[in-house]
A and B are shown apart, each in its own frame.
Chain A
Amino acid sequence: MIAALKLNLLLGLGLVFIGTLSLLVGDVATSPLALVDWLSGAGSAFHAILFETIRAPRIVLAALTGFVLGLSGAAIQGFLRNPLAEPGILGASNGAALGAVIAIYLGLASTVSYIVPLAAAFMALVSVVVLMAVAGAGASSLRLILAGFAVSAFAGAGIALALNLSPNYFAALEIAFWLLGAVENRSWMHVFLALPGAVFGCLLMLSTARGLNALALGEEVAQTLGLSVPRLRARIAVGLALAIGAVVSVTGVIGFVGLVAPHLIRPYCGHMPSRCLLPSAFLGAILLVLADTVIRAIPTLMELKLGVLTAFLGVPLLLLLLRRPGALVSEA
Chain B
Amino acid sequence: MLELKNISALTPETASRKSILHDVSCRFEAGQITAIVGPNGAGKTTLMRAAAGLVPLSAGSIHLEGCDWKDPKTRARHLAYLPQFQNLAWPLSCHDVVALGLLPYGFKDDALVAASLERCEVAHFSDRPIDTLSGGERSRVFVARLLVGNAPLLLLDEPTQSLDAAAAMAMMHLLRGAADDGAAIGVVMHDLNLARAFCDHVLVLQNGVAMAQGAPHDVFTPSQLEPIFKVEFDAMTVGDAHYLMPRS
Specify which chain B residues have a CB less than 8 angstroms from the CB of A216 in the assembled complex.
88-90, 92, 100
Q: Does A326 contact B (CB under 8 A)?
A: yes
Within 8 A of A (CB), among B46-83: 49, 52-54, 72-73, 75-77, 79-83
Tell me, yes or no, whether A107 is within 8 Å of chain B by CB: no
| CB of A218 within 8 Å of the partner chain | yes
- Given that A213-B103, A331-B91 are contacting pairs, would A221 and B81 also be in contact in the complex, using a CB cutoff of 8 Å? yes
Q: Are B131 and A332 in contact (CB under 8 A)?
A: yes
Q: List, in ascending order, chain B residues with CB within 8 A of A81's CB.
A: 89-90
- Taking a contact as CB atoms closer than 8 A, the residue among A210, A218, A220, A270 that contacts B93 in the complex is A270
CA distance A273 to B89 in the complex (A): 10
Q: B90–A272 contact, CB under 8 A?
A: yes
Q: Do A226 and B91 contact each other (CB < 8 Å), given the known contacts A213-B103, A332-B131?
A: no
- Bound-state Cα–Cα, A108 to B115, Å: 65
Number of A-B residue pairs, CB cutoff 8 Å, is 91
Pick the contact of B104: A82, A220, A225 (CB < 8 A): A225
Q: Mark B79-114, 1 if CB is under 8 A from A, else 0.
A: 111110011111111001100110110000000000
Give bound CA distance, A271 to B91, whole Å: 6
- Contact B88 A332, beta carbon cutoff 8 Å: yes
Using a CB-CB cutoff of 8 Å, which residues 267-309 of chain A contact chain B?
270-273
Report if A233 contacts B (CB, 8 A). no
Q: How large is the interface on B (under 10, 10 to 19, 20 to 34, 35 or more residues)?
A: 20 to 34
Q: Inside 8 A of B130's CB, which chain A residues have their CB?
A: 332
Which B residues touch A266, using CB under 8 A?
A: 90
User: Least Cβ distance of B80 to chain A in Å?
Assistant: 7
**Residues of B contacting A1 with CB < 8 Å?**
93
Residues on A with beta carbons closer than 8 Å to the beta carbon of B86: 217-218, 221
B91 touches A224 (CB 8 A): no
How far is A224 from B157 in the complex, measured between Cα atoms in Å? 14
Q: CB-nearest residue of chain A relative to B88?
A: A332
Which of A215, A228, A272, A326 counts the most B-chain CB atoms under 10 A from its CB? A272
A228 and B131 contacting across the interface, CB-CB below 8 Å:
no
**Chain B neighbourhood of A214, CB < 8 A:** 100, 103
- Please, which residues of chain A bring their CB within 8 A of the CB of B96? 270-272
Beta-carbon contact of A224 and B53 below 8 Å: yes
Q: Which residues of B contact A223 (CB under 8 A)?
A: 53-54, 72
| Contact partners of B93 in chain A: CB under 8 A | 1, 270
- Find out whether the CB atom of B88 lies under 8 angstroms from the CB atom of A220: no
Report yes or no: A224 in contact with B54, Cβ–Cβ below 8 A.
Answer: yes
A168 interface residue (CB < 8 Å to B): no
Name the A residues within 8 Å of B79 (CB-CB). Answer: 224
A31 at the interface (CB under 8 A from B): no
Q: Contact partner of A226 among B87, B92, B104, B145, CB < 8 A?
A: B104
A330 within 8 A of B: yes
Residues on the B chain within 8 Å of A270, using CB = 92-93, 96
Is the pair B54, A271 in contact by a Cβ cutoff of 8 Å? Answer: no
B positions within 8 Å CB-CB of A:
49, 52-54, 72-73, 75-77, 79-83, 86-93, 96-97, 100-101, 103-104, 129-131, 138, 145
Contact of B80 among A210, A215, A224, A228 (CB under 8 A): A224
Q: Which residue of B lies closest to A271 (CB)?
A: B90
Q: A225-B103, A226-B103, A330-B131 are in contact. Are A220 and B90 (CB under 8 A)?
A: no
B68 to chain A, nearest CB (A): 13
| Shortest Cβ distance from residue B206 to the other chain A in the assembled complex, whole angstroms | 25
Contact A217 B104 (CB under 8 A): no
Give chain A interface residues in 204-235, CB to chain B under 8 Å: 210, 213-218, 220-221, 223-228
CB proximity of A242 to chain B, nearest CB, Å: 25
When distances are taken between beta carbons in the complex, the residues of chain B under 8 Å from A213 are 100, 103
Of B72, B89, B131, the contact of A215 (CB 8 Å cutoff): B89
* Closest chain A residue, CB of each to CB of B77: A226
Complex interface: chain B residues within 8 A of A224 (CB): 52-54, 75-76, 79-81
Looking at the assembled complex, report how far the CB atom of B231 sits from the nearest CB atom of chain A, in whole angstroms.
31
CA of A326 to CA of B101 in the docked complex: distance in angstroms?
Answer: 25
Q: Are the C-beta atoms of B53 and A221 separated by less than 8 Å?
A: no
Q: Distance (Å) between the CB of B104 and the closest chain A CB?
A: 5
Q: Which residues of B contact A218 (CB under 8 A)?
A: 83, 86-87, 89
Measured between alpha carbons, how far is A214 from B91 in the docked complex, in Å? 14
A255-269 residues with Cβ-Cβ distance < 8 A to B are 266
11 additional A-B pairs beyond A218-B89, A266-B90, A332-B91, beta carbons within 8 Å, are A213-B100, A216-B88, A216-B90, A216-B100, A217-B97, A224-B75, A226-B72, A226-B75, A270-B92, A271-B96, A332-B92
Q: How far is the CB of B13 from chain A (nearest CB, A)?
A: 10
Bound-state CA distance A257–B83 (Å) is: 35
A211 to B11, CA, bound (A): 28
Which A-chain residue is minimally distant from B76 (CB atoms)? A226
